[in-house]
Structure 1
Amino acid sequence: MEAYLHGVSTRSVDDLIKALGADTGISKSEVSRICADLDSEVTAFRDRPLSHTTFPYVFLDATYCKARVNHRVVSQAVVIATGVSADGRREILGFTVGDSEDGAFWTAFLRSLKARGLTGVQLAISDAHAGLVAALRAVFLGAAWQRCRVH
């Protein structure tokens, strides 16, 4: 699973399995089964409730990665939210992937966090992406925004 997650091709994983002494490598159907297991774990993580505590501080960011979509390699936005509780504990609140990080995309992502129980946001920290800042103001009314010092 780890090799596949790091983008190693099925053929290379097969070669690795053989190099480790297995008589046969790994089939495409076995890779599909492994990926299905990973998909269910990721879905459970992404859908878990966030109502167990409040997160007064939320960091938001995005990066772009290459992904295969409809048999083409394209650039995709991967956005992530990290919450910090009042006692300083950090937790990944959620992430999602989309075509770009426009305002509608950020708004949908933030609304999904809120629907899962994210409450108590007092300060959001992010870059100054206009769509993100507008989405924050629309979804978390009254929360302050601060530009991330790294950005």
Structure 2
Amino acid sequence: MEEQIQKKPEYANILTRFGAILIDGLIMIPFYIPIFVIMPMLEEGVEPPMFALIVFFATILGAIVFGIWNTIVRMGKTGQSLGRKFLNIAVLSGDLQPIGVGSAALREIIGRWISGMVCYIGYLNAFWDKDNQMWHDKMASCFVYYVEENYS
């Protein structure tokens, strides 16, 4: 029986990682449109129709639920948000497995906040780190790799 040796994939560079975040942000635009249409009515003191308020709050709730699903649940289970999937990169543990929902939540909520806290130095860390890790990657003990197109 031949032993199959799995080659470690290449670390994703910072520009590809930024592109994935940008795509994830663009995917959220449909959620923002109703918010930006209704928000001026609320600020001007005009009482919007009840339907507009329902759409406003449903859109906010939908954006939160979708954002959590895409960046925490989906990424925790598969290693990829939709933006990462599009650019063929994945957030994986050192043994090339998805990091799990708990570690994804730590990485995305607390880790990203800490990475950006002091002049975004935690994000810039990827420029000089040998593994292209940002601080939030280190907190969650994960790496961002290029993966095959049909991954997950």
TM-score in terms of structure 2 length: 0.32
TM-score in terms of structure 1 length: 0.32
Which is helix-richer, 1 or 2?
A: 2
- Larger RCO: 1 or 2 (CA < 8 Å, sep 6+): 2
